Chain A
Amino acid sequence: MKDFKLSKDQIKKLALSTIGFFVLVYVYLSFFLGPLNSNSDKMLATIAVLQDKVANSKNEMGKATNLERQAGTATTRFAALKALSPEGAPIAWFPPRMKAFFANQSIDKSTARLETSVAFTEPELAGWTRYNWMIELPQADYSTLGKAVAALENGEPLLSINRINIRALPEDPQFQQVSLTVSTAILKR
């Protein structure tokens, strides 16, 4: 029993060894094992994310292929609607187009002027603008006008007539003075 009694000097050394042990453990965990493990954890997380992405990529590509197939009609229709808006400022091409249209419908005199242009509220139509026009036909026969309006509505799907005003000409009641307020959806170019 006497042999196991520690001297003051030995207790001091033992305390030093204990402190050394804790310092060693601290240094080992903080500067060696900790960073290594955290690095490998990060890499494992990245691997999981990337593997997930690679696995999903097949789905994504499959979906895109399916969507491409399903959107065939919509794409064609969209292209057709887009083609109704030629390049350039609408005020440059819309009035001549209306003039030519009514001339083809045997209404020689016609003028179209821009009233307002506003953005659509629907987020899907962010690339489109609504233009409001006033079309004046100072002399039109009623039946010709009716046919022209029907042809206009059928031929210009993005055009809608919001207001129509037909007045008989006092000096020539066979003809009418017509004004149309129309709005069109035109693609921003």
Chain B
Amino acid sequence: MALHLNLLHEEQLQQRQRQRDPLKIGMMVLGTLGALMVTYYLWNAYKTLEIRNRLSQVEHDWAKVEPKVTAAQKRSAELNSIISTTKVLDGIIDTRFFWGPFLEKISRCVALNAQLTSIEGNILDDKVVVAIDGLAAGREPRAAAEELRQLLLEQLGPGYKDVKVEFKTLEDLDTIVKIGGANMAMAHFAINVSFSTGAAKAKPAAPAPRVRTPKE
């Protein structure tokens, strides 16, 4: 067997050690990783550019539409405001109490032997309160006043809700008046009328044919 002498052993060992240098291997690994990372970064950057392009396209589309949308929104808000304001105003208008028909109904109840000296009407929340003062004349002046009260109840009952017509005072007077040539006794009355405005509103109507005739 031939003797084999390796005189370069130390040199070869050093070269092998250089090749297995961990720092060098580490640097290679880091380099590879770095290259991968850069590639991935570039790929992401490319995608981001694509997204930026899409964004600018969408922004452009929106810029074209935005003024129209803003104007439409503004107009919608304005119209909604008009609708709601009109609704509230209509509510106020519809819930008004009309005094014209009421005064007309009262005029139908007053005969020649009665005279109203004052009418004072107030609207309190959803209630109408009217104080009527007057004089009635006749052989039975109290009956004449009561007839006026009955007639008021009859006239107001169908048009309004929860109608109450009550005497506050009814007293005979010493004064005598002449009606149609006859002397009549007189009575002073104060009538309180109250009703709710929640009922169907009375509409202005033509004068009713019924007229009370004076009592002798």
Confirm or deny: B211 has a beta carbon within 8 angstroms of a beta carbon on chain A. Answer: no
Confirm or deny: B169 has a beta carbon within 8 angstroms of a beta carbon on chain A. Answer: no
Contact A124 B76 (CB under 8 A): no
Number of interface residues of B (CB under 8 A): 68
In the complex, which residues of chain A have a beta carbon less than 8 angstroms from the beta carbon of B101? Answer: 150
Contact B100 A150 (CB under 8 A): yes
Give A42-55 as 1s and 0s: 1 = Cβ < 8 Å from B's Cβ atoms: 01101100110110
Confirm or deny: A153 has a beta carbon within 8 angstroms of a beta carbon on chain B. Answer: yes
- The distance in angstroms between the C-alpha atoms of A81 and B52, with both chains bound, is 53
Give B105-137 as 1s and 0s: 1 = Cβ < 8 Å from A's Cβ atoms: 001000000011111111100000000000000
In the complex, which residues of chain A have a beta carbon less than 8 angstroms from the beta carbon of B121? Answer: 163-165
Give B80-104 as 1s and 0s: 1 = Cβ < 8 Å from A's Cβ atoms: 1111111111101100111111011
Would you list which residues of chain A between 22 and 74 have a CB under 8 Å from chain B?
Answer: 24, 28, 32-33, 36-37, 39-40, 43-44, 46-47, 50-51, 53-54, 57, 60-61, 63-65, 67-68, 71, 74
Selected interface stretch from B32-40, B138-146, B160-168: B32-40
What band does the interface of chain A fall in when counting residues whose beta carbon is under 8 Å from B? 35 or more
Confirm or deny: A96 has a beta carbon within 8 angstroms of a beta carbon on chain B. Answer: no
- The distance in angstroms between the C-alpha atoms of A3 and B101, with both chains bound, is 121
Q: B-side binding surface: helix, strand, loop or mixed?
A: helix
Confirm or deny: A88 has a beta carbon within 8 angstroms of a beta carbon on chain B. Answer: no
- The distance in angstroms between the C-alpha atoms of A128 and B86, with both chains bound, is 12
In the complex, which residues of chain B have a beta carbon less than 8 angstroms from the beta carbon of A113? Answer: none
- The distance in angstroms between the C-alpha atoms of A33 and B65, with both chains bound, is 35
Interface residue ranges, A against B (CB under 8 Å): 3, 6, 10-11, 13-14, 16-18, 20-21, 24, 28, 32-33, 36-37, 39-40, 43-44, 46-47, 50-51, 53-54, 57, 60-61, 63-65, 67-68, 71, 74-75, 77-78, 81, 122, 124-125, 127-128, 142-143, 145-147, 149-154, 157-158, 160-168, 173, 185
Q: List 8 A-B contacts (CB under 8 A).
A: A53-B65, A63-B76, A71-B79, A74-B79, A75-B79, A127-B85, A158-B93, A167-B118
